[in-house]
Chain A
């Protein structure tokens, strides 16, 4: 596979992949790592890519899967660190906390956006993906359906349920009062 062709793909889709990763992990370092993983996978699998499919859809799917894998492996590491700390009796190994560091969020909104993203991260994967694609990536429902390999009706329902669950999670969350105070000021 020629590197020039791959470089063209990278130049075209680098920001798309990075923004998708940021939407899932809300951390610059993690999003950069996911972006690298995505393009290494794209390079390896480009020979097997079916030309009838849209390349952006294919890259979106890889980016979403890699982001979800990254989150899963991070959670696994954290669980393992907790287990180790229980046996060792110290909690120095549980400092795997990821700081909210999304460069697309303005500084004055950082606290409230961190709160909204925290609740968004608790949503079921399908609902979260539909909201990220439709609201953060500004994709139409038809495009979201194509990326998620589902019907437009299903996407519509996922977004509605996601929205409702998000509101519920935010209002029940511990930081809600603080969040309301931030919104009033």
Chain B
């Protein structure tokens, strides 16, 4: 008996119309997952830049304060540094 001939009798069938909705849902889920991770990276980058800027500003303002103390000490004839001997 030719079993292959039996296989040829299998009819073609149509797919349920709801599958398209499910595919769309899965695609949008995948895309939103990708968007969330993209937003996370953006936020991380912005946070790092902000932290760097705050640190730079703090360093700059600290240097200004040190200069002020130095000039004040000089006007008051005080020693502006801790070393006892001139090098």
Contacts and interface: CB of A to CB of B under 8 A. Distances in A.
Contacts of A32: 15-16, 19
A116 B22 contact: no
B3 A170 contact: yes
Give the interface size class of chain A: 35 or more
B15 A166 contact: no
A27 interface: no
B4 A163 contact: yes
A104 interface: yes
Contact of B6 (A23, A39, A40, A112): A112
Interface string B1-24: 101101111111111100110111
Given A10-B23, A36-B22, A15 B15 contact: yes
A104 to B, nearest CB: 4
Grouping DSSP codes into helix (H, G, I), strand (E, B) and loop, the A interface class, with mixed when no group exceeds half, is: helix
B19 to A, nearest CB: 6
B30 interface: yes
Grouping DSSP codes into helix (H, G, I), strand (E, B) and loop, the B interface class, with mixed when no group exceeds half, is: helix
Given A15-B13, A18-B15, A138-B8, 19 more contacts: A14-B19, A14-B20, A19-B12, A23-B10, A35-B15, A36-B26, A40-B27, A43-B27, A104-B13, A105-B10, A105-B11, A106-B11, A109-B6, A113-B10, A116-B3, A131-B4, A131-B7, A136-B8, A166-B3
Interface of A: 3, 7, 10, 14-15, 18-19, 22-23, 32, 35-36, 39-40, 43-44, 102-106, 109, 112-113, 116, 119-120, 131, 135-136, 138, 163, 166-167, 170, 183
Nearest to A19: B12
Contacts of A106: 9, 11
Contacts of A7: 20
